[in-house]
Chain A
């Protein structure tokens, strides 16, 4: 009886504990990128005085250096800090919980997909040990939230719970623009092939989803720069100058060589945008991203590992093989979710971000588990052991990770931010804008600076970089320096760029050097130079 109970609940309990422990291990890792720091800081300002970091009261569209940010993640960050206070704990815990819950959710989905308890346990293990899902559970970001919502939506639809499904659709719409492109086909596909809801319910849900999306897009189009936001972040394919110029150039060469113009027009035309988008889409879900490397930069995952452990390619191949060969239709169709969830890659040429690959991981886990089911148990144990070993090495041995992400995730900037803000309390202080991709969020997040001092109240900030944070001046590349007069005093935290600029003009005393993890001098504290 006890063993049966353990078999039923014990394994998933153990997996959830393991997943949670992996996610809280080395709690302050990874250090935040400037965008994550911005979300964290924004959460704090919202939690304290209901304004975002630019001083706007409870907005629905936020600023970031890449695109407009949708609200949900920022409000989750605010919620965490409302409960736990400002700090790593408050920001990271909601996402850790979400990441751990995702494991359980996949377990539930798998149980509906295949009644064998072994299958659902294996699916949960795969998700629990997926490197990017571990990584993203530790930072405030849209991807983990969206992955959670799509898995939840699938589960709710399978469970015929359309009212909660509708709520999740709303939540996903408010999480990321990427969801806008995936939701409708996802809902249609899942409703028709996996859900046993009545046709009337299907119609209601699909209509609701479609109307919501149309309204959202229409509302979004009212926002200044929204068209630019779509073009730059969701449809860069159609602005790809390489393709435009390539078509003209190659066609021109044909004409120069005497090929008939109609043939040249037939061969080189706008359909190249489609073929490029199509191949870009498929290339971004190629095995190298799943089992090789998903993100070399360290933005959405550990830098030197794929979205899944290398060894899982074996059950994956077996899974695909046997799904095609003898899987039931609803089992086979799970393969389409990979294509469906990554569809926006079609328009994202030439960019690649691992986010859409990560959305597919719960469904990949089902395919992999299907493969596991075809293997002998001893081989399953071998594969799982190798998986745990590889993921463990990447999680516990982080020296090269720290070095690789020294600029993107600057650990060292915490101390610097603190000193900059302290300095600004007594003396005019300036800081170079190239010591990090964006210094302002770090200043707000890592220090006790008064949020209101940074409020600029810009209505629709898009890709806005803050050059004044309270009394701290952020120095752009166009600034020039002069020697401070007798009644002037200024402390400059200069990057190499600005130090060279200063030293070209006059001599300056370097008070302190700040080094990154690679022992490279990144910032020089100077006195005597004024702007």
Chain B
């Protein structure tokens, strides 16, 4: 029986591996700005022990207009040392943690419900859920955090079962300790959730003596983070920059009256809105520009299963500790998304969606005896899943590739191909099909795709005198002022129609056009 269960788990894992590796190099269609910055920083740290700005083994990595927690960049550094600096290097840790999450969720659910079938179903939903695949493939650091967190709680639950095995408490401390370094919100959420967990399961910690040392180990991880968070200005800035008070609608409300009341009302409403079904099951992953047509973090077919799962959970026994913990997990897990400036940010709610997968499994378990219903459900699932795949592999690149800075890679490769034949390469990252947007991290794209040594980049990178100008090597990434720049000699200028009067430029000087994924022109290379 046990062999059969692990065989099924293996099949589920293979399914998860398949969807995570399928055309991984091609989809997403280009490294996004987060990926390219983390990858180049990881290469820099691996080669020089410093980030691209010359900071020695930083605790927080400066990104462009953003800051990154350290875990994912360092782990990518390890992958770089093994696999080299190819594009896949940045995606592999995300995929790996995404795959490892499948057995982790299995173990966690098994500990929670003591039911193999429910655990397998939870693993299945983890293997195939849209948000899992989407975030695993785009190398998002939160995935590693969820994996470590799930393992941490599984270890604690395992300790309750095997009462004498105190080592599980130490293992849990280690997992939690690492998890808080993976993602900013985890530094707050994990201690809160852990405290709630300890409170709910307080009677299961057999002896207070047992938990003192594990708690100290966790604090050993947590206190430096706390100190660094409060003393590090970048970290504070990051928190302020994404906090709900940055929302313009809230600013407007504050101007109407009482600041505290407006902030409380607004934040509470935003928090509750995270539970909006259209967002969770409809279009929350923001794959398209077509209003309600999109994909949510969970499949639409999971909606009835989640409802059934909740009903099953409610009717199952008392309002026991497991139920309280699940409820706490969902309520606390939605806090980061509910308290930030974006109306919905699925990347901040992954832990909740993971739990909703577990609840879907409960719903499916409830239906499992109804064979005919399961057949209908299976057919609907296949159609729903095909729809998701179509969205992910076809529509998402067409509709949203601009958001991941497509075609910056092509621009960078072309710029390097011309590197020897010009004195300077000017790139204006202002682009956009319908409205102009300044693409960030252009210097990272240029440096990474030119295999530019990070040690050299650390020395040469500087800000220039012109608007938005940063410089290194022959590259000047800045606003193009065509009135002046048209008189430059032996220069390659790359810009979009927002910065170049492309109609009036002599066609012979336009040496290359770079298109968006949908075939519309994005940038022009002009050689002077």
Contacts and interface: CB of A to CB of B under 8 A. Distances in A.
A266 interface: yes
Contact of A288 (B276, B288, B399): B276
A243 B292 contact: yes
A325 B293 CA distance: 36
Contact of A292 (B273, B314, B391): B273
Nearest to B327: A317
A247 B268 CA distance: 35
Interface string A244-265: 0111011001101101000110
A285 to B, nearest CB: 9
B278 A324 contact: no
Nearest to A406: B256
Contacts of A399: 256-257
A304 B288 CA distance: 31
Contacts of B416: none
B275 interface: yes
A321 interface: yes
Given A403-B256, A403-B257, A242 B383 contact: no
B369 interface: no
Contacts of B253: 304, 400, 404
A253 B394 CA distance: 7
B261 interface: yes
A240 B292 CA distance: 10
Nearest to A281: B277
Given A283-B278, A288-B275, A393 B261 contact: yes
A38 interface: no
Given A240-B291, A250-B293, A282-B303, 9 more contacts: A256-B398, A266-B386, A275-B300, A279-B282, A286-B277, A292-B268, A292-B273, A304-B261, A350-B292
A287 B387 contact: no
A529 B485 CA distance: 51
B262 A304 contact: yes
A242 B292 contact: yes
A267 interface: yes
Interface string B382-401: 01001100110111001100
Contacts of B272: 286-288, 291-292
B248 to A, nearest CB: 14
A304 B258 CA distance: 12
A86 interface: no
A516 to B, nearest CB: 13
Interface string B230-246: 00000000000000000
B394 A257 contact: yes
Contact of A283 (B276, B290, B395): B276
Contacts of A292: 268-273
Contacts of B292: 242-243, 246, 272, 276, 279-280, 349-350
A245 B383 CA distance: 21
A312 interface: no
A267 B390 contact: yes
Contacts of A259: 390, 394
**Residue among B253, B293, B398 with max Cβ neighbours from chain A (10 Å):** B293
Contact of B265 (A257, A266, A293, A397): A293
Contact of B383 (A267, A293, A324, A350): A267
23 contacts: A242-B293, A243-B290, A246-B291, A250-B390, A253-B398, A253-B399, A257-B394, A267-B386, A279-B278, A279-B292, A280-B278, A283-B282, A286-B272, A286-B277, A287-B272, A287-B275, A291-B268, A292-B268, A292-B269, A292-B273, A304-B265, A305-B265, A404-B256
B386 A250 contact: no
Interface in B361-395: 383, 386-387, 390-391, 393-395
Contacts of B383: 266-267
A324 B290 CA distance: 37
Nearest to B323: A321
Interface range, B side: 35 or more
Interface string B295-308: 00000100100000
Contacts of A268: 293
Interface of B: 253, 256-258, 261-262, 265, 268-273, 275-279, 281-282, 288, 290-293, 300, 303, 311, 314-315, 319, 383, 386-387, 390-391, 393-395, 398-399
A249 B383 CA distance: 19
B319 A263 contact: no
Contacts of A272: 292-293
A395 B258 CA distance: 14
B288 A250 contact: yes
B218 to A, nearest CB: 31
A473 interface: no
Nearest to A323: B314
A280 B393 CA distance: 26
A310 interface: yes
A383 to B, nearest CB: 16
Contacts of A263: 386, 390
B258 A400 contact: yes
Lowest 8 CB-CB distances: which A-B pairs, in order?
A400-B257, A246-B290, A292-B269, A288-B272, A242-B291, A400-B256, A246-B293, A283-B278
B31 to A, nearest CB: 21
Nearest to A253: B398
Contacts of B319: 321
Contacts of B277: 279, 282-283, 286
Contacts of A249: 290
B396 to A, nearest CB: 10
Interface in A9-54: none
A288 B274 CA distance: 9
A286 B276 contact: yes
A374 to B, nearest CB: 10
Contacts of B279: 283
Contacts of B261: 304, 393
Contacts of A291: 268, 272
Contacts of A400: 253, 256-258, 262
B315 A324 contact: yes
B102 to A, nearest CB: 26
Contact of A293 (B269, B278, B394): B269
Contacts of B315: 324-325
B491 to A, nearest CB: 37
A400 B258 CA distance: 8
Interface string A138-152: 000000000000000
A325 B314 contact: yes
A263 B385 CA distance: 12
B178 to A, nearest CB: 34
A247 B395 contact: no
Nearest to B258: A400
A393 B387 CA distance: 48
Contacts of A288: 269, 272-273, 275-276
Nearest to A286: B276
Nearest to A321: B314
Interface string A432-476: 000000000000000000000000000000000000000000000
A253 B395 contact: yes
Nearest to B517: A253
A349 B292 CA distance: 10
B211 to A, nearest CB: 30
Contacts of B398: 253, 256
A324 B314 contact: yes
A283 B344 CA distance: 14
Chain B CB within 10 Å — which of A257, A291, A349 has the most?
A257
A257 B393 CA distance: 9
Contacts of B258: 397, 400
Contacts of A243: 290-293
Interface string A293-304: 100000000001
A283 B272 CA distance: 11
Given A253-B395, A293-B265, A403-B256, A286 B275 contact: yes
A151 B387 CA distance: 42
Contacts of A350: 291-292
Nearest to B312: A324
